C-alpha cells in the first residue's frame, strides 16, 4: 500500500514576502454633546505603531501589526498588516484635547468638541 499524506503541501504556494497588506479597520463612531468617540479595530497593533493625524478637518489613522519569528518559514499565510482609515471631522473639534487609548486591539479616540460647538439652551426673557 502506498503511503500518502493527508494533505500534500504545494511548495510553490510558499510565499516569503515582506510586503504588507493594507486593510481598512472597522470603525464605530458615537457622538454626544461633549465629544465624538471613535473606536477602530486594529488587532495586533502596538501603541508605538499607531499614528493619528488631524489636520484642517481631516483625520487619518494608521497602524501596523508586525509578525516576527525566528527560523525559516515552511508555511506563511499572514504577514504584516497596515491599517489605514481617513475621515473628515468638524472644524469644531478641540484638537489640543484629543485623547487616544489602545486596549485589546481597539483604538478609542476621544475627539472633544470646542465650547462653541456644544449645544446650549437659550434663556428667553420677557419685558
Domains of the chain: 20-68+75-116 (2.60.40.790)
- Is 21 in a helix, a strand, or coil? strand
pLDDT at 42: 96
13: Cα separation from own chain's centroid: 30
Spatial separation of the C-alpha atoms in residues 65 and 25, rounded to whole Å: 12
* Contacts of residue 26, Cβ cutoff 8 Å, sequence gap at least 6: 40, 41
Spatial separation of the C-alpha atoms in residues 42 and 105, rounded to whole Å: 5
* Torsion angle of the four alpha carbons 80, 99, 58, 65, in this order, in degrees rounded to the nearest 10: 0
**Pairing mode, if any, of strands 27-31 and 35-41?**
antiparallel
pLDDT at 9: 47
pLDDT at 2: 52
pLDDT at 4: 44
pTM: 0.72
Nearest alpha-carbon partner for 111 in 20, 27, 23: 27
pLDDT at 69: 73
Mean pLDDT, the chain cut into blocks of 10 residues (127 residues total): 46 51 93 94 94 93 85 76 93 92 96 80 82
Amino acid at each position: 500500500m502506498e503511503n500518502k499524506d493527508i494533505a500534500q503541501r504545494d511548495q510553490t504556494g510558499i510565499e516569503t514576502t515582506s510586503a504588507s497588506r493594507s486593510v481598512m479597520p472597522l470603525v464605530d463612531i458615537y457622538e454626544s454633546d461633549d465629544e465624538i468617540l471613535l473606536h477602530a479595530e486594529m488587532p495586533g497593533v502596538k501603541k508605538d505603531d499607531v499614528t493619528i493625524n488631524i489636520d484642517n478637518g481631516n483625520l487619518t489613522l494608521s497602524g501596523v501589526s508586525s509578525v516576527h519569528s525566528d527560523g525559516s518559514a515552511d508555511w506563511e499565510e499572514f504577514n504584516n498588516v497596515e491599517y489605514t482609515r481617513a475621515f473628515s471631522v468638524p472644524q469644531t473639534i478641540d484638537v489640543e484635547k484629543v485623547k487616544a487609548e489602545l486596549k485589546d486591539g481597539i483604538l478609542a479616540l476621544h475627539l472633544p468638541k470646542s465650547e462653541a460647538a456644544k449645544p446650549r439652551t437659550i434663556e428667553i426673557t420677557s419685558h
